[in-house]
Amino acid sequence: MSSPLRRLLQLAWPIRNWMLLAALLGSLTIISGIGLLTTSAYLISMAALHPDVSALSIAIVGVRFFGIARGSFRYLERLVSHRATFRLLANLRVWFYSALEPLMPARLLVQKDGQQHELRSGDLLRRAVSDIDTLQNFYIRVLAPPLVALVIGVLMWIFFGAFGIVFGLIFIAFYLLSSVGIPWLAHLLGQRVSREMVSTQAELESQLVDSVQGIADLIAFGQQERQAQSIERMNKKLQKLQMTAAYVSGMQGTLTNLLMNLTAWTMLLVAIPYVYRGELSGIILAVLVLGALASFEGVLPLASSFQQLGGSLEAARRLFEIVDARPAVQNPTTPSPTPQDHSIQVKDLSFRYEESEPYVLRDVSFTLPRGKCLMIVGPSGSGKSTLANLLLRFWDYQEGTMTLGGQPLQAYQQDDLYQQMSVVEQDTHLFNTTIRENLMIARKQASEEEMIEAARKAQLHDFVLSLPEGYDTAVGEQGLRLSGGERQRVAIARAFLKNTPILLLDEPTVNLDAITERAVLDAIKALRQQRTTIMVTHRLAEMEMADEILVLHHGRIVERGTHASLLQSEGLYWRMWQQQRARTVEAV
């Protein structure tokens, strides 16, 4: 048994009783259908002999019973199987998200064909939604139908054998060919197509997500036609695969119907001599033929089930790639220690993302006492944001030490670490909901007064009151209804509301105009009071608020000191300062 198949069965183990109940109800549905047809055949054949009505009473009651029972059992079977499957799929979504969360926001690398590949957001969306939905075919149409077919096959073998061994052998030969041979053929012909359909749909959805996210750039550079052609090629490939799958499905349906009718004709041709010799009642002829036809209802779903098995296993493999991926950061097995204070110390820190890649940080050391402010500046690509991400434990460092309150950073559970830090990033993400909900992410249990006070401190409250719906104003997807400065002030208000002893700011004024930058910096000044603060920036504005400034270049600290002392030394910091002043003068 292949690993994805085995693991899928293990995931289905908690609902095994529901699946067995669904298989039982499915068997009873088909048995009722067989009973309806065979009893009807007996009733019609018997009625042709004009017997007394009392001789037909049992058959009449049987037809009514089986007619009602078939519909009832079918409804119950659908209800049980779908309810169990949908509950399982809901659990699978939670299971997948729980496995995905520890892998983010570090680069998500998965093993494929012996190599590591970084996943795109569109591919993640496909796995989290469509691939999990694909598994309902496995749990509804792959697990239960073989059990139903087995039950029906055994019961009908015994039923036909009761009229003669030859009838039992005829039935079981055609039944096995239909229930095993044709599904296996459909599986062989369709497994590659099913797998390619899943991977092609994933690639198509990834391209569509990339296209939607980058639609403005595509239009601006006149590349929308080229992107549309690329999507069209992928769509044609998917259509071709779907047509191939339809051909296989049509072939298996034709063969199954052919064998079903061959079974009925063989039964009829073999039974006629028995009737002539008086070894079998003529009334039974219709019972054998219609019974054989009705029994194949248990076989009909099998071919499509095995055809879809390849797609289900491919979807499962893609999910297990994520679940089996090793997180970049491992939580300790012991509870988090209690920090002595909220000071931060970094000593001889070196870091690189992969062993094959160059170091991003080399021999970085600094000490930030409680309540002090440290600014980290440097050219783009010097490692500033990487250092901030290491402090947040988005990645784990390989060399050196980082401590918080005298305790190693790696000794803290990530959730406990985040409870002590507030973060304002350069690209604040706002969810497609109201300003209120976006603020309350920081602290769900906060009161209305606390939220408004945080907004006031972030210089956001007056702007919100100017909106028609106030704090209930929707911000749009990714907060695009707000300007860059307004989004940053929402992020600062979150930090005020969270009210943690440590503050980490990563390029909080990037891409802002001078007036908006001044407003954001004033809010940051108020926010950093009495907090241990690290601010990563390449914009040298309000540097006097820093107790110490670190200048990074190519991952190393090349200068350190206060704003005044660094200007006096006329090094890299002084050159950056002069360049920024020159650009400001030119802009004026």
Residue-wise pLDDT for 285-300, tens only, equals: 888 888 888 898 888 8
Ramachandran assignment for 462, one of left (phi > 0), alpha (psi -120 to 50 degrees), beta (any other): alpha
Amino acid at 175: Y
Burial of 368 (0-12, 13-18, 19+ CB in 10 A): buried
Around 3, how many Cα atoms within 13 Å sit in the side-chain half-sphere?
6
Average pLDDT, integer, range 446-469: 87
Helix axes 484-498, 514-528, angle to 10 degrees: 0
Of residues 2 and 5, more confidence is placed in: 5
Q: Cβ contacts of residue 368 below 8 Å, gap of 6+? A: 343, 344, 345, 374, 532, 534, 548
Please enumerate in sequence order all residues whose Cβ is within 8 A of that of 276, keeping only pairs 6 or more positions apart, or say none: none
User: Closest by alpha carbon to 295, among 147, 154, 141, 182?
Assistant: 154
The conformation of residue 409, written as its DSSP 8-state character, comes to G
Q: How far is the C-alpha of 200 from the C-alpha of 189, rounded, in Å?
A: 18
Over residues 50-73, the mean pLDDT reads: 86
Report how far residue 293's alpha carbon sits from residue 281's, in angstroms, rounded to the nearest whole number.
20
In terms of DSSP bridges, do strands 548-553 and 556-561 run parallel, antiparallel, or are they unpaired?
A: antiparallel
Q: Cβ neighbours of residue 476 under 8 Å, at least 6 residues apart?
A: 432, 482
Residue 108 has pLDDT above 70, yes or no: no
- Percent pLDDT > 70 in the chain is 95
- Report the alpha-carbon distance of residue 297 to residue 29 in Å, rounded: 10
Does residue 555 carry a pLDDT above 90?
no
Stretch 251-265: mean pLDDT: 88
Encode pLDDT of 351-404 as tens digits.
988 777 888 899 999 998 988 889 998 888 888 888 888 888 888 888 899 998
Q: How far apart are CA 267 and CA 269, in angstroms?
A: 6
Q: Check residue 28 and give its pLDDT.
A: 92
Structure tokens at 508: 């909080």
In the chain, the domains with their CATH numbers are: 3-323 (1.20.1560.10), 338-413+537-588 (3.40.50.300)
pLDDT at 569 over 50: yes
* Residue 485 tokens, joined: 């400065």
As a whole number of angstroms, the distance between CA 179 and CA 173 comes to 10
For the chain, what's the residue count?
A: 588
Sign of dihedral through CA atoms 417, 422, 426, 428?
positive
| DSSP code string of 526-537 | HHHTTSEEEEE-
pLDDT for the residue numbered 1: 44
Between CA 365 and CA 349 the distance in angstroms is: 6
Q: Beta partners for 434? A: 474
86 vs 72: CA distance, rounded Å: 21
At a CB cut-off of 8 Å and minimum separation 6, what does 24 contact?
A: none
Q: Which residue has the higher pLDDT, 486 or 1?
A: 486
Burial of 451 (0-12, 13-18, 19+ CB in 10 A): buried
Decide: 135 and 84 in contact? Cβ < 8 Å: no
Q: pLDDT by residue (tens digit) across 198-211?
A: 778 778 877 887 78
Tell me, letter by letter, the H, E, C secondary structure of 286-351: HHHHHHHHHHHHHCHHHHHHHHHHHHHHHHHHHHHHHHCCCCCCCCCCCCCCCCCCCCEEEEEEEE
Q: For residue 585, what pLDDT is reported?
A: 55
Q: What's the mean pLDDT in 166-179?
A: 90
